[in-house]
Amino acid sequence: VLTSIGDTYLQLKQMNALADLRELPALKGLPNQYVAPDGTWAAHTLAYRCMAYNTNLVKKEELPKTWDDLVTDSKWRGGRLALSNNPNAWLLALWSAKGEAWGRDFTRRLFDLAPQQRKEGLMAITALTVAGEFYANLPSPGERAQEYANKGAPLSYHCPDPVTATLSQMVLMEKSQHKNGAKVFINWLLSAEGQLLQYAASQLEPVNKALQLPQFVPFADTILGDRKSTRLNSSHVALSRMPSSA
């Protein structure tokens, strides 16, 4: 069983090296867009990647409602916004969903803001936002930003429309020596019980439809009910809407 395989998925699929998971009962508990049409992968975690911002430096009403608002507001100019080198976590989802022309224009306008281009990882750069090194950073792991906020740090989270998220894929090798045992494990992990245990261990949002609830989503007020642009490591993008009643 493999996870976090990135673009290797495309190579494995071309080699016919992946097993079909569609017979697993637990897959019925996942949204359709979280399972490959041919059953060669299933998502096991969902992660939101939006903006973390310092509440001492930015008021909630000053936050951009859409991504276009972000690049047209002079408030974010001159190094007040920090970017880490992780466009795959947010920008590529928007680019694929909105089209090539929008993606090129948005990226140009984004760098016209002269953001700080940081080399730190996602968790470290979020910590620097807490310290006031810049007004906000992009992208930021929602679950880690929530940890800082719970400790009383001057940090909150915001997702312009549409919300950007990534799905982590799980695959099974076709020639696995313990194929049936692997299927039992995958079926359990994708069930509500397995997803609950995964959340308890990692704080990563469940993909099971029964667990699409505010208590499992960091900063649910900025995520639930909004359009979501979701990107897989295999470059698949889906636009959907989180249920506002969740």
197-210 pLDDT, tens per residue?
999 998 888 999 99
Among the listed ranges 32-36, 69-73, 216-220, which one has the minimum average pLDDT value?
216-220
Residues 75, 81, 87, 88, CA torsion sign: negative
- Residue of 184 and 230 predicted with greater confidence: 184
Given this model, what pLDDT does residue 101 score?
96
Given this model, what pLDDT does residue 226 score?
55
Given this model, what pLDDT does residue 222 score?
80
29 touches 208 (CB < 8 A): yes
The CA R_g of the chain, rounded to the nearest whole Å, is: 19
211-246 pLDDT, tens per residue?
988 888 888 888 765 566 665 554 444 434 444 333
Tokens of 122: 């996602």
79-121 pLDDT, tens per residue?
999 999 988 889 988 988 899 999 999 999 999 999 999 999 9
Average pLDDT over residues 30-54: 92
Given this model, what pLDDT does residue 243 score?
40
3-state secondary structure of 189: helix
Burial 49-79, CB ≥16 within 10 A → b, else e: bbbbbbeeebeeeebbeebbebbeeebbeee
β-bridge mates for residue 237, sequence order = 231
Cα(209)–Cα(222) distance, rounded to whole angstroms?
A: 19
Q: What is the overall mean pLDDT for the chain?
A: 89
